[in-house]
Amino acid sequence: MSFIHDDFLLQSEAARELYHIYAKDEPIYDYHCHLPPQDVANNRRFSDLAEIWLEGDHYKWRAMRSNGVSETYCTGEAEPYDKFLAWCRTVPQTLRNPLYHWSHLELKRYFDIDVLISEDTAKEIWDAANEKLKSDDLSAHGILKNFKVKVVGTTDDPTDDLAHHETIRGQGLDTRVVPTFRPDKALNVDRAVDFNAWVDKLASVVGRDISSLTELLSALQERHGYFHDMGGRLSDHGLERCYFADTNESEVSAIFDKARSGSDANEIEKEAFAFYVMREVGRWNAERGWTMQLHVGAIRNNNARLFRSLGPDTGFDSIGDFPQVKTMSRFLSSLDTTGQLPKTVIYNLNWSDNYAMATMLGNFQDGTIPGKIQLGSGWWFLDQKEGMIAQMNALSNLGLLSRFVGMLTDSRSFLSYPRHEYFRRILCDLIGQDIVSGEIPGDMELVGGMVRNICFGNADEYFRVLK
């Protein structure tokens, strides 16, 4: 039997029935990812397997470094085949790492290649995959079609002109590709040089000076409206933790003025400013029926030497241990108090906070929308079997798994869509075990309906991008 077979990860008959009948054929609702919109607009074609498989993939780069592979084969200038060969030498060392599963799933689903990856099979894989890359099925548009991707939510700065999204809208794709409002750079008053460069860029985009807090918020709100006109229905925020401060407009205006004058805000000032801006974005989201996504818990750019030489998003981030729930409570409550708490998905990166966060989110369900406040799927370092199960168990025990909006790729790679399959197999195996043990009934119409909704239907109803 091949390694990736029809019943991969499905350990019971109940799990197999749930997956093959209720989960397998559901479309994909990829509501959060980092696919470059220009690649979709240009219907990008990939010249070789190294380009489509390794470009920008910091998961693989981290594994290669751990295996003693030089940086020249990760982010450096090595030849494509040499980079690919270095990865093939690394894969056998990734046993019990999710990369072993993902890599074999990717080869099987995209290229119909069913061999174990190693240095010995590298040339065979390279030749066969590169031949298949010539097909329209493996262009950017072909991949979205073949994996039945109904929605792609890209991640976009408020200063982005969204020209590529405009192009995509006219291409007649079955996939709806929409922008996501990511204003993280608007919070960086503690780094005045970077903050001012970004504010100047925003000013250029809106066509007027930004010399006050009021003008900053007006420009951001205008861009929020433009994203809405372009189909955007989500904001996204990458935070160490939620911010909260007992502050007011006058104090925050003074912090803005300090940063615009070139002086870095201190830690207390950053907290107040970031909270104030985030609360405003939350209010705009509520007004327009959007969803606010909070990705909390990452500590980024830990390796100062390599950050200076390689920049961000190159594989030097990790799980942080920030106090989370107290300021999260106050932030959510600040919006709820005025009736302006939007639909919110909170993605937790620190496993130990799962239960605390699940109980905190339950405090703000208000009966208006099923699953209004979501404990997001296991993400980044937790989008693997153990992390997904931990997230689903916390949600099951303390909330409603049946209302869960399911998986997303959170990826820069067009080869990441098998992660939805991986999630669905893990979900079905988890629920199948409950059926086998008698903990839930073997009523497949009931249980299978829940599985089907988690795979697609809940996200479709919750985010309403297609409505």
Token output for 121: 């099979």
- Which is it for the CA torsion 84, 311, 156, 335, positive or negative? positive
Find tokens 């073997």 and name the residue. 442
**Sheet of 343-348, strand order:** 234-239, 291-296, 343-348, 373-375
Residues of the chain with CATH 1.10.2020.10: 45-137
320-349: average pLDDT: 97
Express each pLDDT in 242-273 by its tens digit: 999 999 999 999 999 999 999 999 999 999 99
Q: Average of pLDDT values for 60-65?
A: 96
pLDDT bucket at 465, cuts 50 / 70 / 90:
confident
Q: What is the mean pLDDT of the chain?
A: 97
Q: Mean per-residue pLDDT for 394-419? A: 96
- Residue with tokens 């300090």, as numbered in its chain: 258
Q: Which CATH class is domain 148-463?
A: alpha beta
In the chain, where does the domain assigned CATH 3.20.20.140 lie? 148-463
Neighbour tally for 448: CB within 10 Å: 19
The whole-number average pLDDT for the span 15-26 is: 98
Distance separating alpha carbons of residues 253 and 330, to the nearest angstrom: 21
The answer to whether 69 and 62 are in contact (CB under 8 A) is: no
Q: Give CA separation, 413 vs 35, 53, 105, 410, in Å.
A: 6, 7, 14, 9
Place 296 in a pLDDT band, splitting at 50, 70 and 90.
Answer: very high
Residue 149 pLDDT greater than 90, yes or no: yes
Q: How confident is the model at residue 416 (pLDDT cuts 50, 70, 90)?
A: very high
Q: Looking at residues 277-283, what average pLDDT do you find?
A: 98
pLDDT value at 467 more than 90? no
pLDDT band with cut points at 50, 70 and 90 for residue 466? confident
Closest CA to 62 of 313, 305, 415: 313
Tally of residues, the chain: 467
Residue 388 confidence class, pLDDT cut points 50, 70, 90: very high
From CA 413, how far away is CA 137, in angstroms rounded?
16
Half-sphere exposure of 61 (CA within 13 A, CB side): 18
Task: Give the per-residue pLDDT at 47.
Answer: 96
Phi, psi (rounded to 5 degrees) for 446 = -70, -55
pLDDT, mean of residues 11-25: 98
pLDDT per residue as tens digits for the range 85-144: 999 999 999 999 999 999 999 999 999 999 999 999 999 999 999 999 999 999 999 999
Question: pLDDT value at position 118?
Answer: 98
CA distance 453 to 23: 9
pLDDT of residue 313: 86
Instruction: State residue 56's pLDDT score.
Output: 87
Task: Report yes or no: 62 and 97 within 8 Å, Cβ to Cβ.
Answer: no
pLDDT digits (tens, 9 = 90+) for 179-210: 999 999 999 999 999 999 999 999 999 999 99
The top-level CATH class assigned to 45-137 is: mainly alpha
